[in-house]
Amino acid sequence: MKAFFAGIANGTDTDTSGNTIGCRQNYAKKAETAGSEYYCQYAGLTGGGVCGVPLNNTCNAITTICPSQYANFDACYTDLYNLDASFGSLQGPSGQSENTLECRTYHATASVLDPIHCQHVTAVAAPCHANDGTGAPKTNGNHYCGLTELTCTGNKQQFFGSDAATQWKSCTAIWNTWPVANLTFGASTSDQAGHQYHIFANANGGGNTVHCAHAGPSGGGVVGGPAIGTYIAWQQTSTNAACAASTNTSWVALEVGNALQNWVALLPMVVPKDADPGNYNVPAINAAGANTETCRLYHLTTAATGAVAHCSHGSVLGGGQCPLGHPEIPLCDLITTACGGDATACRSAFLPYLDPSKPQMMGDPNTMMSGAPVAGDTLACRLYYATLAISQKGMMNTTNATNCGNAKVSGSTACVGVMAPTSGSAFVTVSVFSSLLMLLW
């Protein structure tokens, strides 16, 4: 055992990073607490991306234990360099067939009992390297969230959390909104593999690098691609379990999904893209309160901790938080994008409809979930027709002209009439109104 850690400094058992015995011992102790077993990833020989650089640790071990394969550190480093951000989440025998550094580390340590294992440590040797691709690394939410917690901090923090437990809850909830995929390193796909690749690359670079935003919930303009990746991230995050659990908030995912599907060219006019998604981080996005997709995405990661009041802030119209305090901006951007007209005049005209003391002016959002709302002088009615109009934008037909007529302040034929009573199940309450926008689809 001692040979495995030859040349590694002792350090102290309070070390939280660095290639020391103490760092590994610190996380091994933390792993003894129920629910914190994921800390074992950092107690192993590679350091798991926290206790030293995995590639360096791997090559130091291999050249010490299996010098027959690599005569020196440089030869090993060069041969395994393409795996520098592929150190893997599975350790020991469970990782013995993945194309990772952990796999090679396992075979190096196993060679102490049976020297035949040394032949498996090179870049192209089976079983760590399989020509048929069966050795693709598995993604691991615990390792991803652990690395995000420990290596993306301060102005690189990616998930909401006033403490480690809340941040962990947010991260694991959002991880579960991403499609499962085997880890193809270097990928920029909007799935668990794409995000985990970048958190590994961040850890390999010493932490708090540009990869934090790429690994985080927004994808940083890289995961998912620069053109639409952050919009895809917004849609995925809107499906988090906390928002989906209630009919009062599950509408958000439907709304965002429909917008992404039907308004690809028009959506940036209503929800402008963040000009610098590569610098996405919790402190900055929280402070900005801007009319962007990343502001909405931030609130959805907050909602994922169980703070479901934030779900509506992740909607197309931003729930009064994106932009901060001005829900009339995306509201009128939507209407005027669909039907034309003056956005400034629209904002002035519709501002009274956003008065919390008059919730009846919002209308009933639940009717819009399944079809046209009850006709009346409400936002719900106008927005129903605005969404119909925006899906047909550019089509000069009578139906679309009618839709736009109903969407405007005048209300045309459908969105006019006597106000309905403020009480009863058909109308939102003031408390629901405070989240503003349970109303689009």
> Which pLDDT score is estimated for 18?
94
The DSSP secondary-structure symbol of 225 reads: -
Tell me the residue length of the chain: 441
User: Using one digit for the tens of pLDDT, what is the confidence trace for 170-200?
Assistant: 999 999 999 987 666 556 789 999 999 999 9
pTM: 0.84
Q: How confident is the model at residue 258 (pLDDT cuts 50, 70, 90)?
A: confident
> Which pLDDT score is estimated for 407?
85
Percent of the chain with pLDDT over 90: 53
> Which pLDDT score is estimated for 217?
97
DSSP per-residue letters across 6-56: TT-B---TT--SSSBHHHHHHHHHHTTSTT-GGGHHHHSSS-TTTSS-HHH
Residue pair 50/27 in contact by the 8 Å Cβ criterion: yes
Average pLDDT of the residues in 237-258: 89
- Take residue 309 and report the two structure tokens written for it: 């009041």
Q: Say which amino acid occupies 229.
A: G
User: Using one digit for the tens of pLDDT, what is the confidence trace for 27-41?
Assistant: 999 999 888 888 999
Cα–Cα distance measured from residue 441 to residue 424, given in angstroms and rounded to the nearest whole number: 21
Residue 437 has pLDDT above 80, yes or no: no
Residue 440 has pLDDT above 50, yes or no: no
Instruction: Give the domain ranges of the chain.
Output: 2-120, 141-320, 351-433
User: Using one digit for the tens of pLDDT, what is the confidence trace for 65-114?
Assistant: 999 999 899 999 999 998 988 899 999 999 999 999 999 999 999 999 99
Q: How confident is the model at residue 383 (pLDDT cuts 50, 70, 90)?
A: confident
> Which pLDDT score is estimated for 396?
53
pLDDT: which is higher, 195 or 337: 195
User: Using one digit for the tens of pLDDT, what is the confidence trace for 357-368?
Assistant: 777 777 655 444
Q: How confident is the model at residue 267 (pLDDT cuts 50, 70, 90)?
A: confident
H, E, C per residue of 344-402: HHHHHHHHHHHCCCCHHHCCCHHHHHHCCCCCCCCHHHHHHHHHHHHHCCCCCCHHHHH
Task: Give helix 192-204 / helix 141-151 axis angle, nearest 10°.
Answer: 40
User: Using one digit for the tens of pLDDT, what is the confidence trace for 121-140?
Assistant: 999 999 999 876 678 888 89
> Which pLDDT score is estimated for 143?
94
Contacts by 330-333 with C-beta closer than 8 Å and gap 24+? 330/270, 330/271, 330/291, 331/379, 331/383, 333/269, 333/270
